[in-house]
Amino acid sequence: MEEILNLLKENARLTADDIAAMTKKTPEEVASIIKKFEDDGVILKYSAIVNPEKDLETKEKVCAEIQIQVQPQREHGFDAIADRIYRFPQVKSLYLMSGGYDFKIIIEGDSLKDVALFVSSKLSTLEGVRSTKTNFVLKTYKENDIVYVESERDNREGVQA
């Protein structure tokens, strides 16, 4: 089953027939395993990975990483405040962290001002938020094992003296 999951992680467009040929299982067995993964919530979604430098709509967006220190709530810990944070549509990712801050948030906005306004009026005003630190993403080189930069090859021939 893990082999099928790894194949789908690498290429979600593989069909049950494709995977069956690679795993020596029948297409029906593969389809049943994939359905179980979906029903159990192991597979949450299938999506395309888009190069942000080549997608005009994404290229115009501003991405920021925000580090937040919070005061956990009694009997709910960090979960209650995390629940409020991840519901904002600007929040693309939310992580509970160890170290100098509690949450790392990845957000996306239409402009620097848009991101700043979100942080100052939405995040920093949440009950329990003690401090925020915003870092803007300038360029993405690699994300989730995908390299976004194209290596430029030097096609000149070497000269020997």
Model pLDDT for residues 84-140, shown as the tens digit of each residue: 999 999 999 999 999 999 999 999 999 999 999 999 999 999 999 999 999 999 988
Q: How many domains does the chain have?
A: 2
Domain that residue 25 falls in: 2-39
- Angle at the Cα of 32 (from 34 to 15), degrees rounded to 5? 55
Q: Is residue 156 part of a domain?
A: no
Q: Report the C-alpha gap between 89 and 114 in whole angstroms.
A: 13
Q: Check if the beta carbon of residue 64 is closer than 8 Å to that of residue 136.
A: yes
User: 132: Cβ–Cβ under 8 A, 6 or more apart, which residues?
Assistant: 66, 67, 68, 69, 119, 123, 124
Q: Is residue 46 part of a domain?
A: no
Residues 64 and 137 in one domain: yes
Tokens of 122: 């939405």
Confidence of residue 149 (pLDDT cuts 50, 70, 90): confident
